[in-house]
Amino acid sequence: MSKYIVTGGNRGIGACIVEDIQTKDPAAQIIIISRQKPGDALTSKSDGITWVQADLSTQEGINATKNTFRGADVLINNAGIMIGKNPFDISDEERNLMVAINQNAVVELSLAFIAEHNKNKAKTITRRIINNASIAAQIGHPDMWYGMTKAAIVNLTKSIAKYHGADGIICNCVAPSTVSTDMMNMIPDERKKMMKAVAVTGRFAEPQEIAQTIVWLATQSPEYMNGACIDVNNTIYLR
C-alpha cells in the first residue's frame, strides 16, 4: 500500500489526480491538502482518503502538511494560484502570496520530504516528488510573477533530482498549457484565445489529461527518468 500526499487535491487537476490514483492503486492512502473541504463525491470513493486542512501560504499550513509525511511514498506539489495581473498592476501582497504558495511552499515541503526520506539510512527505498509547473515557465506569461514561480520549480525539480537522486529520490515535473479548471478564470481573454489557437487540437487540456501524466510519474515512470519536465501542451511549445 502506497501513501500519497496531494496538495490542492480537493478540486481541479488535484481532484483528478486523487481519482486517478484510486483507479490505479485502489489500496492507496491519499492525503489531500487544501484550504477548502473536498466534496463528498471525491472522498466517499475510498476509506483511504484523508483531508488535512492547510493554508500553504502560512507556516502553520506548511507544518500541518509536513506532519503527514511519515511513511509517505509520494509527494505531489500541485496546489497553486494565479493572480492574473501584469507586474505593474500586481500588489506586493498579491505577489508575495503567489510566491509563497507556488514557490516557497513547494521548496519547503520538498526539502522536508527529502529529510524524512533520509531518516532511512539504508536508502533502499525510492520516494517520488512530482511538481506541477506550467508552460508559463518556458514561454513566459503576462502574469510574470506566476511564470517566474513556475520556472523556479522546474529548476527545483532538476536540483532535487541531481543532488538527491543518488539517495533514492525521483523528482520530475509537468509543464501543462491551459487546462479547463477554475484557474482559467484568472487567465486574460487574449491569452486564452491565443493558447487555444496555437494548440493543434484547438482546445484546452482536460484536467484528467494532466492528472494521468502526473500519476504516471508518481507510480510507473522508470527510475532512470529523474529531473525531467514533461511538456503537456499539444504542440504549443515544441523543443
**Closest distance between ligand NAP and the C-beta of residue 25, in Å?**
21
In the complex, the smallest distance separating the C-beta of residue 227 from ligand NAP, rounded to whole angstroms, is 19
Listed in sequence order, the residues at least 6 apart from 36 whose beta carbon sits closer than 8 Å to its beta carbon are 10, 11
Residues in 49-78 at the binding interface with ligand NAP, rule: CB under 6 A:
54-57, 61, 78
Q: How many CB atoms within 10 Å of residue 74?
A: 24
Q: For the segment 111-150, give every residue that binds ligand NAP (CB under 6 A).
A: 132, 134
Identify which of residues 46 and 208 has a Cβ nearer to ligand NAP in the complex.
208
Of 124 and 201, nearer to ligand NAP (C-beta) is: 201
Spatial neighbors of 146 by CB under 8 A, at least 6 apart, are 82, 83, 84, 98, 102, 134, 136
Cβ-contact 113, 72 below 8 angstroms: yes
Cβ 14 to ligand NAP, closest distance in Å?
5
Mask for 154-183, x = binds ligand NAP (CB under 6 A):
----------------------x-xx-xxx
- Binding status of residue 106 toward ligand NAP by CB under 6 A: no
Euclidean distance between the first and final Cα of the chain, in Å? 37
Tell me the DSSP string of 103-123. Answer: IIHHHHHHHHHHHHHHTSTT-
Q: x/- contact string, 22-41, with ligand NAP (CB under 6 A)?
A: ------------xxx-----
Burial class (CB in 10 A: 0-12, 13-18, 19+), 144: middle
Residues that bind ligand NAP (CB under 6 A): 7-8, 10-14, 34-36, 54-57, 61, 78-81, 101, 132, 134, 176, 178-179, 181-184
